[in-house]
């Protein structure tokens, strides 16, 4: 394992049913509830929403870092994410993610594809989930090339 450069700490009591979560620094505190689509009250956030925000934020930050390294301006990038719960054969659930990366200032499709592909190689969320979840990435409306 490499050198730890940052550790986030959080505590949750009550899980996704009637849960409450808080980070150790107090900057994030929220109620956690089952979404209406799963029969819950929907009057709080849920782990999938938190994962969607986290992945999109992490990917966007990595995109800007990789863009600087490649001398490509990606400051106006936008990352929309969808995180879905998907049933599996074990009567459990898996997660599927869709990332839609929009790069308004990059008109050349090859450049946009190369930037996003390189970003996917360094983003911590991408690295943590690689091979573990279904993931679809689009770049300016086109699927990320293999």
What pTM does this model have?
0.94
The fold of 1-45 is: N-terminal domain of TfIIb (2.20.25)
Which CATH architecture group holds 47-143?
2-Layer Sandwich (3.30)
CATH 2.20.25.10 positions along the chain are 1-45
Residue 120 contacts by C-beta under 8 Å, 6 or more apart in sequence?
59, 126, 137, 144
Over its length of 146 residues, how does the chain's per-residue pLDDT go in tens digits? 899 999 999 999 999 989 999 999 999 999 999 999 999 998 999 999 999 999 999 999 999 999 999 999 999 999 999 999 999 999 999 999 999 999 999 999 999 999 999 999 999 999 999 999 999 999 999 999 98
Instruction: Give CA–CA dist 63/45, Å, rounded.
Output: 26
């Amino acid at each position: 394992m490499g050198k730890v450069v940052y550790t986030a700490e959080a505590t949750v009591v009550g899980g996704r049913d009637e849960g409450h979560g808080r980070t150790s620094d107090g900057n994030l505190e929220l109620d956690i509830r089952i979404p209406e689509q799963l029969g819950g009250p929907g009057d709080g956030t849920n782990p999938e929403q938190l994962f969607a925000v986290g992945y999109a934020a992490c990917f966007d930050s990595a995109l800007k870092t990789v863009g600087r390294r490649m001398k490509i301006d990606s400051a106006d990038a936008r990352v929309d994410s969808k995180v879905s719960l998907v049933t599996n054969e074990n009567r459990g659930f898996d997660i599927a993610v869709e990332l839609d990366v929009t790069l308004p200032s990059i008109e050349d499709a090859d450049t946009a594809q190369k930037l996003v592909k390189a970003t996917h190689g360094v983003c911590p969320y991408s690295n943590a989930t690689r091979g573990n979840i279904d993931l679809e990435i689009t770049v300016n409306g086109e699927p990320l090339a293999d």
